[in-house]
A and B are shown apart, each in its own frame.
Chain A
Amino acid sequence: MQKNQSALKNIWLMTWFTLREAMARKVFIFFMGISVIVVLLSAAIFSVIETESVISGFTTEGKDVILKEIVGSLELMIISPLSALCLLLAIFASASFVPVMLEKGNIDLLLSKPVSRTQLIWGKYFGGLLVVFINIGFLITGVWLVISIKFSYWDFSFLSLIIIITFTFAILYGLIVWFGILTKSSTPGMMVAYLIFLIVSPLLQLAKDRLNVLIESDFIKSVIKGLYYIIPKTSELMGKITQDLTMGKGIENYQPVISSFLFLAVMMYLSTIMFKRKDF
């Protein structure tokens, strides 16, 4: 019991320390700056829009429906491009957390303390997640508050985007952590994460949904299908699932969430095993 308590304490200490590192590197402040600008801009734009004129022609029941549509669309319009930008920034900002920890003179000290290697790597992982969670949370809550106050319509389902965007980052960050341990460098992990997020995942989704009919070879179809299930589905998470959640529809198909989570589990398992066996 005491050992478990001390394990949690150590993980929290490393998590807190990573947050401190992000703040010192101005990453946190830069993120917050962007979020504040977006929230203030949204507030300024919405302050000049007359809501009553938009919904005056509708009955009370119709007003609710149209408000839901308007609020959902506005939130989506603001958040869709921003969440992708935030994710790109988050990958850039967090890619060096693990390689910096593994630098000579730093890792030696950490490993000389009564902290297990598993606690160190998971503390670092949760630290990266916490940085992104706080930033995304601040941005989405800010935008949500501005729109909700303006339209006096409180759609809480929009806030679930904080979880889905952080989850998308968590998957890519798992990959970055693994590459960080493997190469002790931030660049390879960052490049692979960008490649998956910007090219591979959207292409695989497209190939599976649309191009499949154009491909005749069963072998190529199987390869595409295999890759589709292996590679995390960031495109769907940030695309259809984000849209559906914003419009209050909920998640129709959990397969992209589950298969992406499995990818994350494999990445973190490999990272932990590799870190536990590595000489420094």
Chain B
Amino acid sequence: MNVIETSGLTKVYTSSFGKKKVEALIDLNLSVSHGTIFGLLGPNGAGKTTLVKLLLGINFPTAGNAKILNEEPDNYLIKSRVGYLPENHKYPSYLTGGEVLNFYGRLSGIDGIELSRKIDELLELMQLRKWKKTKIKAYSKGMMQRLGLAQAMINDPELIFLDEPTDGVDPIGRKEIRDILLQLKEKNKTIFLNSHLLSEVELITDRVGILNKGKLLREGTVRELTEKAEEYKISAAGEIDLSAFRLHDGILLTKLSENSYSVKVKSVGELNSVIDQLRQNGVLIKEILPQKTTLEEMFINLIRESESAEISGKEKI
């Protein structure tokens, strides 16, 4: 079941006098399944926050439509099943941590003993229990992020949007937040994560989308996105004498390290042909692994490709 669905979603921001138009999101089609962690990656200004705002009914689409939990975002009642941590969240500085959770909890439709219990439970989870009665102006950035996360979880939501949740949090705090997100996933919650911390996204997400200049460039599992097309690493029992034989069809075997080689092929059939040739030449193969790139490498390459394609497109015009 899809928890988030968009079809042809487009958002164009127009300046006050209509002179300047910014295409923040262009014809976006996306779906996120129930109980998964979806990571949306993109450089600053890619349209990540705009997408979340459209899904939450904070902004209105120029064209297309969006659905969360099978409802239109302008049905405000659906938000009792949703949690949100905005990027630069701002809570009134005169409130204590406990009061912040109390206010947003009541706005989310819970109160009484249930709310008090939930506040204590979340403050404990976020290690903020002893700060419950301290005004938040005394909180550090990391504490504010953890309080924000508690706020997003106060109504025990089915779907949680997190915009840069580990922003300003130290490495230990990040690990703790990641663990909390994984716990939430175990409880069958769906998490939509906006981040530019690629290593973090790589560690916890089931699927990843890459957005640049309002366009969804790629979408898939981290494995799908990081696998290099038809490139394999071959580990042999001993060193292969590359000068001794030449592979058919101009296929090149490149040495990576001792007893370790890389080969680029066009198909699985071609890979098998390489294996046959190596075996015929007495090479003992220990391991064949598809070559992977890091998410960061893939992300940078993809953004560069999209930008150079855009530049060449403009030049042609």
Contact = CB atoms under 8 A, between A and B. Distances in A.
Contacts of A25: 94
Given A21-B92, A280-B53, A109 B76 contact: no
A107 B87 CA distance: 12
A105 B57 contact: no
B94 A106 contact: no
Contacts, number: 76
Contacts of B80: 114
Nearest to A115: B107
A112 B58 contact: yes
B106 A109 contact: no
Given A279-B58, A280-B53, A108 B79 contact: no
B108 A114 contact: yes
B86 interface: yes
A10 B111 CA distance: 12
Contact of A109 (B59, B104, B109): B104
Interface residues of B, number: 31
Given A105-B88, A106-B90, A277-B60, A112 B106 contact: no
Interface string A9-26: 010010001001100110
Given A109-B86, A114-B109, A115-B107, A280 B59 contact: yes
A114 B76 contact: yes
A73 interface: no
Contacts of A279: 13, 53, 58-60
A117 B82 CA distance: 17
B92 A113 contact: no
Nearest to A280: B58
B56 A111 contact: yes
Interface string A245-273: 00000000000000000000000000000
A8 interface: no
A108 B88 CA distance: 10
Contacts of B82: 112
Nearest to A10: B107
A20 B91 CA distance: 13
A65 B109 CA distance: 57
B138 interface: no
Nearest to A112: B84
9 contacts: A6-B109, A13-B103, A13-B107, A106-B89, A111-B56, A112-B82, A114-B109, A279-B58, A280-B53
Would you list the 6 A-B pairs with minimal beta carbon distance, nearest first?
A105-B90, A24-B94, A112-B84, A114-B80, A279-B59, A113-B107
Interface of A: 3, 6, 10, 13, 17, 20-21, 24-25, 103-117, 277, 279-280
